[in-house]
Structure 1
Amino acid sequence: MEDFLKLEREGAIALVTMNRPHTRNALSDEDVAEAFERCCATLNADLSVRVAVLTGAGAAFSSGGNLKTLAGSVGAGLGEPVLSRHAYRDGIQRIPRVLCNLEVPTIAAVNGAAYGAGNDLACMCDIRICSEDAVFAESFVRLGLTPGDGGAWLLPRAIGLSRACEMSFTGEPIDAQQAYAWGLVSRVVPAGELMPAALELARRIAVNPGPALRMTKRLIREGMHTRLDSLLEMSAAMQALAHHTAEHGAALEAALHRLSR
């Protein structure tokens, strides 16, 4: 079986491709969570990486759970509810833990269907852009299920409570333009222009100093759930670190040089 994730580099940009088009890049196979853990550990450890782009091979971004193996891998086929609980905790729930703690900014380049856990996977990324072919659905309820991968936390933060409830309670898909209108994605481009657009955005991010990017992402993530005074204290600490980086020194010197001309 081929590796679920293919990792490529363009300078400071990591291009991460879910590479199982025959399963529509389903996320519930046993090795998928481990693949994300290995990939995120690699990117966190490599300080030359400044931004990551996540996309899917084939026609789909990710179909979410693999319906052919769902019952046997995490569902009633396991025999006891407690086994399903551990299957989720030890399986797909590892993905939001590692992806939301990935230090570098992430761009989801959604090339096609993002259903169920695939929709939630896009929400785990910091920025989402999509092709005109993209379709999004929080479709768990249509299978008599609930979001088992953190979607109930992720989706309201991406599009607001009312719209997240509409998507979650109906299970109905929304197209690329509706996703843009609701703020689920920040840009819609023609299918053939998706990866060039994602990489162009990644390059605009990657020109900035790596330490500042990583700390800015951490502050934004912490700001989603912490108190202002706690975030201010963390901001002061990280700003103190930033002041002492070589990248800040070089950028400050260049800015002062421009002002003196």
Structure 2
Amino acid sequence: MVYENIIFEKEENIAVITFNRPEAMNALNNQTRAEFRDAIGAVAADDEIKVLILTGSGKSFVAGSDIKEFNKTTPYAAHNIMRLGEMVEKLEKPVIAAVNGFCLGGGCEIAMGCDIIIASEKAKFGQTEINIGIIPGGGGTQRLQRLIGVCRAKELIYTGDIIRAEEADRIGLVNRVVAMDELMPTAKEMARKIATKSAAALKLAKTAINRGMQTNLESGLKYEYELYSISLSLEDKAEGVNAFIEKRAPKFVGR
């Protein structure tokens, strides 16, 4: 697939979407959002793809919304902005954010919608919306507090401060920080490892974790057990058990 503002690549069972407006710090304009939504749909529909990696070209992952279009933003457009993070979170496949540089505003919200965030040592994070007189509208006020705690989330959102990768790692916003030249190799190594697992079990695990974030412990545990019971009936469960007993690598089929 060919796009103007993103690059879509498929390497065996791993897909890579690269935000590609380096002259604009990969800021999200309407065309980029439309292309991204289309690419996410393509990943969802392709059973060969097991894991998705998101990254950016140049010095940014995504540096927020394109301010040149911002005065045209309507409540309807704002809803579409919010849906980018939701689409990533609801994609029934693991998503890794390989954050290469500036990850601000809507870019930070997209990254937080991912399952795993790997940051280069040059990455910088922030919910900077307050600096132009608005608040995060793509999940920042909700996902950030769940990841790093209410007090730290309030500080970052109220001040609009930008933090370095090391600080993001210290407060639990990212999974790990690596050298810039190790960013994509690390992300792809993790993606390949995850891709060897049962796609059906990964879908159930992601669903259980995400649902648990939205409810209390008792309800989350009940839902987990329901999905666990489903996993016991998977073909992949039988294959996994047999492979373990036979001391060989399992050959999962995703059902």
TM-score normalized with structure 1 length:
0.88
Matched position secondary structure for 1:68: helix
* C-alpha contact 2:86 2:113 (8 A) present in aligned 1: no
Once the two structures are TM-superposed, the CA of residue 150 in structure 1 deviates from its matched residue by 1.8
2:214 counterpart of 1:225: yes
Once the two structures are TM-superposed, the CA of residue 124 in structure 1 deviates from its matched residue by 1.1
Find the aligned partners of 1:156 and 1:213 in 2 and give their Cα distance: 25
Q: Which runs of structure 2 are paired with 1:103-252 in the superposition (5 Å)? A: 103-252=92-241
Give the AA of the match of 2:136: P
Give the AA of the match of 1:56: G
* C-alpha contact 1:48 1:210 (8 A) present in aligned 2: no
2:32 counterpart of 1:43: no
Matched position secondary structure for 1:108: strand
Once the two structures are TM-superposed, the CA of residue 229 in structure 1 deviates from its matched residue by 4.3
Partner of 2:76: 86
Find the aligned partners of 2:123 and 2:109 in 1 and give their Cα distance: 14
Find the aligned partners of 1:178 and 1:125 in 2 and give their Cα distance: 19
Deviations 1:102-161 (A, max 9, x none): 111111100000111111121111111111111111111111111122211111112111
> How many corresponding residue pairs?
247
Give the AA of the match of 2:9: E
Q: CA RMSD in A?
A: 1.9
Find the aligned partners of 1:201 and 1:127 in 2 and give their Cα distance: 10
Matched position secondary structure for 1:55: strand
2:7 counterpart of 1:6: yes
Find the aligned partners of 1:41 and 1:250 in 2 and give their Cα distance: 30
Deviations 1:48-80 (A, max 9, x none): 222111000111111101122221x21xxxxxx
TM-score normalized with structure 2 length:
0.90
Give the AA of the match of 1:216: A
Choose the corresponding residue for 1:98, options 62, 87, 91: 87
Q: Where in structure 2 are there 5+ consecutive unaligned residues? A: 249-255
Partner of 1:53: 53
Partner of 1:79: none
Find the aligned partners of 1:227 and 1:164 in 2 and give their Cα distance: 21
Give the AA of the match of 2:125: F
Find the aligned partners of 2:138 and 2:147 in 1 and give their Cα distance: 15
Between the aligned residues of both structures, percent identity stands at 36
Matched position secondary structure for 1:188: strand
Q: Where in structure 1 are there 5+ consecutive unaligned residues? A: 75-83
